[in-house]
Amino acid sequence: MPVKILLPALSPTMTEGTLAKWLKKEGETVSSGDILAEVETDKATMEIEAIDEGKLGRILIAEGTEGIPINTPIGLILEKGEKESDLDGVMSEGDTPAVTTKTETEVVTGTETENAPPQTELTRESKLHGSKKSEKNARIFASPLAKRMAEQAGLDLSKISGSGPKGRVVKLDIESAIAGKESGD
């Protein structure tokens, strides 16, 4: 059975990451210790190493994808003697996860998809946009800490301009908004 390459937790507080770059291409031979991809968090960029030998059979998550939950399969390695047709058996619905975000979540749960419907409802998109996505159709990029601080302070994240990477709302933005709210009231 193909080996899943999972997005690792790079720190105890990490909940999601960005797949910055694939260093191997589909079909390339990989050995244990080879660097497969680079993952970014809001604090660091780390490399993902292969732990098994074989061939990079399929890339499930395209480079540049943001908000990938930890332990999400990002690729599959075919071990010696396995065929590309074995890759299809790993997929729960037979869809390509790089196309639909729901399938990415279904791959995480595997055959437990039917037993755990709440997890299948938590797609990469809803994880990326947080709980605000369900309230509005606007995209709000914010760190988990910033979301929690804004909620506790009663601030609307959509009204806060982010100063983090790619306009992401970070702790400093929330602290500034709280200071402005207190001085304005």
What is the domain partition of the chain in residue ranges? 3-114, 130-184
Average pLDDT over residues 108-112: 38
Prediction pTM value: 0.48
The string of DSSP letters for 59-110 reads E-S-TT---EETT-EEEEEEPTT--THHHHHH-SSS--TTT-HHHHHHHHHG
State the number of CA atoms in the 13 A half-sphere of 66 facing the CB.
Answer: 13
**CA-to-CA distance for 126 and 144, rounded, in angstroms?**
13
Kindly state the percentage of the chain with pLDDT values over 90: 14
Average pLDDT over residues 112-138: 42
Is residue 105 predicted with pLDDT exceeding 90? Answer: no
Q: Which of 138, 22, 117, 13 is nearest to 74 (CA)?
A: 22
Is residue 101 predicted with pLDDT exceeding 80? Answer: no
Cα-Cα end-to-end distance for the chain: 61
CATH homologous superfamily of 130-184? E3-binding domain (4.10.320.10)
Scan for tokens 């994240």, then name that residue: 157
Instruction: State whether residue 24 is helix, strand or coil.
Output: coil
- When mean pLDDT is compared across 47-51, 52-56, 81-85, 88-92, the lowest value belongs to 88-92
- Cα–Cα distances in angstroms (integers) from residue 104 to residues 34, 84, 96, 101, in the given order: 24, 19, 8, 5
**CA-to-CA distance for 75 and 42, rounded, in angstroms?**
22
Is residue 115 predicted with pLDDT exceeding 50? Answer: no
Say which CATH topology domain 3-114 has.
OB fold (Dihydrolipoamide Acetyltransferase, E2P) (2.40.50)
Is residue 84 predicted with pLDDT exceeding 50? Answer: yes
Instruction: State whether residue 29 is helix, strand or coil.
Output: strand
| Ranges 65-79, 97-111, 127-141, most confident | 65-79
Can you give the pLDDT at residue 21? 92
Can you give the pLDDT at residue 91? 56
Looking at residue 169, the DSSP 8-state letter turns out to be B
Q: What is the mean pLDDT of the chain?
A: 74
Is residue 38 predicted with pLDDT exceeding 60? Answer: yes
